[in-house]
Structure 1
Amino acid sequence: MATTEPAHDTPYRVPPEPRRWPSIALAAAVHLGLLAFLFIGVNWQNNQPVAVEAEVWDMKTQAAAPPPPPPQEIEAEPETAPPTPAPAPPPPPPVAVAPPTPAPPDIALERERKQAERKKLLAEEERAEEKRETERAAQEQKAQKKAQLAAEKKAQELADKKLADKKLAEQKLEAKRQEDKKLDDKKLEEKKLADKQKGDKLAKAKAEAAEQAKLDKLRDADMKRMLAGVGGTGEAAQSTAPKSDPGYIAAISAKVKSATSYTGNTDVAGNPAAEFRIEQLPSGEIMNVKLVKSSGVSGFDDAVEKGIIKASPLPKKKDGTVVRTLTIAFKMKDLN
């Protein structure tokens, strides 16, 4: 029995079990037809034979018959024609033999043959069923193996995805740590810078306070010396204090202007002026510069302050003395 190989791409379906009733009905019809044929054949050949009479000649008995009598002497007669021989006896008529009646077929042998064919057919069906079972088992095993491979592949993909997600989470966590560390470092640097600036401010304030104390001390010493030289009261000292010297102020202004570099825009309304208080040593070296009045332009104020510091030591008066504390105004358009 031929079987059709199922396609590998389609799911295996169990073929339906063959029905036995059509086979049984067909076998019964064949047997009935065969019996009818035998019955009709036997009746057709079973005719009454025709009665035929026949004589039986026994050859042995004929040979034992008495010999014919000896011929008698006959007088010689004139020669005549030879006698005609006696006719032979007619052969015996053929015995009509009735045709042999066909023997009925051996029902037992026919039954055994049918049983053998049926057993052979059942054996073939069993072998076909075993083959189908084997193929079905092979298909099921193949499907199970395919499903197992698919499950293993899916499990591996899930494991790889979990590993990738874990690595990505670790990378994000490490990036966050690095970012937090950078922020902490930045905050620490800012704090250090603020502390440094605060320390610088404190140091500058201390230095300024110390310088101011030094200037005050020098000023007090000068006043005491001047009072001691004059030998009078404070009013006498004030009356003998040095007066303003236009040439001296002009020389200081000229040197500060030459040392000032302002690159900003000078095309402004009016002529803004910045006023500074300058404290210097007897040698003309500047000890302190303080902005008393701003010009309204911070860039110009910073440039003039840097020019004053750069112009140290300042020029002296004709007699070689200096004014320890000066207040000088510098105008923007006068620098050109």
Structure 2
Amino acid sequence: MIRKKSEYPLQPPRERGTGRAFVFAVLMHLLLGFFLYHGIQWQNSTPEGAEAELWTEVPDTAIPRVPSPPPVPVAPAPPLPDEQADIALQEKKRQQQEAARQAQLAEQQRQQKLQAQQEAEARRQQQLAEQAAQLAAQKAATAKQKQQQQQADKLKQQQLAEQQKQQQLKEQQQKQAQADAQKKADEQKAAKAKAQADAAAQAKKVDAERRERLAQMQGMAGGAGSTGNGLGKTGTGSGSGGNAASPGYADKVRRVVRPNISWGGETEGLETVISVRCSPTGTLLSATVSHSSGNPAWDDAALRAVQRSDPMPQDIDGKTPASFKITLRPAG
């Protein structure tokens, strides 16, 4: 079967004289082996010096000399093969070399592919490890950030709660202060109202006592005025409380009222009678002009003098008469 040229691989051009060179190389190797063999045999032979020492005690005739072995005949070179055998041998050798080269190339390619796969796998594993490390770092950073945010939120809530607590406490204190102030104001108001009520009750009681005493005095002896005179520079006055007052009570009233009279006008013919109502403690309850002198200025001066004399002196019994009249004349 004839194959096409395209089925055969490309081959280098065949060199001439290859068979002769091969035969010449074989012949040279055989000669080299022969010379090496005889050289080793010559080195292994017994030296003559050692044989001479042994021969000193034994006669030379007793030891026969061993003849050296004859040289090995050189094998004739094999007949040179013909040109077809040489071509077949060279082709077979070339095919073997080519097969070996292809196998080595395939092994190299396999090793390179395996190495590339290993390197790719190593790179993939490294990338996976780096990605895993990055993911772990991101998770750790996210967890840390979340923890910090939680701590910040917790601290903020605590601060807000503390502020609310302080605000509530402040409001409670304000309310308590307002309540205390209101309570104090209510207590003061109540005390003031009580004092006013007590004063009103006391005034009513005093007025009732005064009216009762006045009624008794009017029922027993009636009201009577008394006159008196004085030599004071500013004016004179006298008074009595009727039969209920002691005889010396008029002098007590005079000594109290006389320093309070202030008058610089005319003095002739002026006389004013002032009706007075007092509490048992001497407090002046009322003072009115019951008989005018005809001079309103003097009447006002006399009335002011009585009002300035509040409280009126008490009698010998420790009480002030409920009502009496005071007659006042300017000093002349």
Q: Any stretches of 5+ residues in structure 2 without a counterpart?
A: 1-9, 35-70, 76-93, 240-250, 290-298, 317-322
Displacement of 1:292 after TM fit? 2.1
- What residue in structure 2 maps to residue 252 of structure 1? 238
Distance 1:274 1:108, change over 3 A: farther
* Residue type of the alignment partner of 2:275: R
Distance 1:178 1:113, change over 3 A: same
Q: Which range moved further: 150-159 or 199-208?
A: 150-159
Distance 1:173 1:270, change over 3 A: farther
1:155-234 pair list within 5 angstroms = 155-220=157-222
1:77-116 pair list within 5 angstroms = 103=101, 105=105, 106-116=108-118
Displacement of 1:117 after TM fit? 0.6
Q: Which range moved further: 117-126 or 175-184?
A: 175-184
Distance 1:305 1:151, change over 3 A: closer
* Residue type of the alignment partner of 1:291: A
Give distance in 2, aligned partners of 1:247 and 1:261: 9
- What residue in structure 1 maps to residue 148 of structure 2? 146
RMSD: 4.8
CA deviations over 1:219-267 (Å, ceiling 9, x no partner): 25x99xxxxxxxxxxxxxxxxxx99665799573886454348789x69
Displacement of 1:183 after TM fit? 2.2
Displacement of 1:158 after TM fit? 2.3
Number of equivalenced pairs: 217
Q: Secondary structure at the match of 2:274?
A: strand
Give distance in 2, aligned partners of 1:140 and 1:303: 95
8 Å CA contact 1:259–1:311 kept in 2: the answer is no
- What residue in structure 1 maps to residue 288 of structure 2? 292
- What residue in structure 1 maps to residue 313 of structure 2? 310
CA deviations over 1:157-198 (Å, ceiling 9, x no partner): 222222222222222222222122112212211221111111
8 Å CA contact 1:277–1:325 kept in 2: the answer is yes
Displacement of 1:107 after TM fit? 0.8
Distance 1:302 1:51, change over 3 A: farther
Higher helix fraction (1 or 2): 2
- What residue in structure 1 maps to residue 49 of structure 2? none
Q: Secondary structure at the match of 1:310?
A: coil
Give distance in 2, aligned partners of 1:139 and 1:122: 25
Give distance in 1, aligned partners of 2:13 and 2:272: 170
Q: Any stretches of 5+ residues in structure 1 without a counterpart?
A: 1-42, 67-97, 224-241, 280-285, 314-323
- What residue in structure 2 maps to residue 277 of structure 1? 275
Give distance in 2, aligned partners of 1:243 and 1:298: 18
CA deviations over 1:98-147 (Å, ceiling 9, x no partner): 9x999464211110011111111111111101111110110111111112
Give distance in 2, aligned partners of 1:329 and 1:201: 29
Give distance in 2, aligned partners of 1:205 and 1:137: 98
Distance 1:130 1:184, change over 3 A: same
Q: Secondary structure at the match of 1:252?
A: strand
- What residue in structure 1 maps to residue 130 of structure 2? 128
TM-score of the two chains, using structure 2 as the length reference: 0.51
Match among 117, 120, 128 for residue 119 of structure 2? 117
Which of these two proteins has the greater Rg computed from alpha carbons?
A: 2
Structure 1 outlier segments of 4+, above 3 Å: 46-53, 60-63, 100-105, 242-258, 260-264, 266-271, 296-301, 324-327
Q: Secondary structure at the match of 1:182?
A: helix
Give distance in 2, aligned partners of 1:187 and 1:289: 26
Distance 1:175 1:250, change over 3 A: closer
8 Å CA contact 1:276–1:290 kept in 2: the answer is no
Give distance in 1, aligned partners of 2:257 and 2:150: 89
* Residue type of the alignment partner of 2:300: S
1:64-79 pair list within 5 angstroms = 64-65=73-74
8 Å CA contact 1:262–1:303 kept in 2: the answer is no
8 Å CA contact 2:228–2:238 kept in 1: the answer is no
* Residue type of the alignment partner of 1:329: L
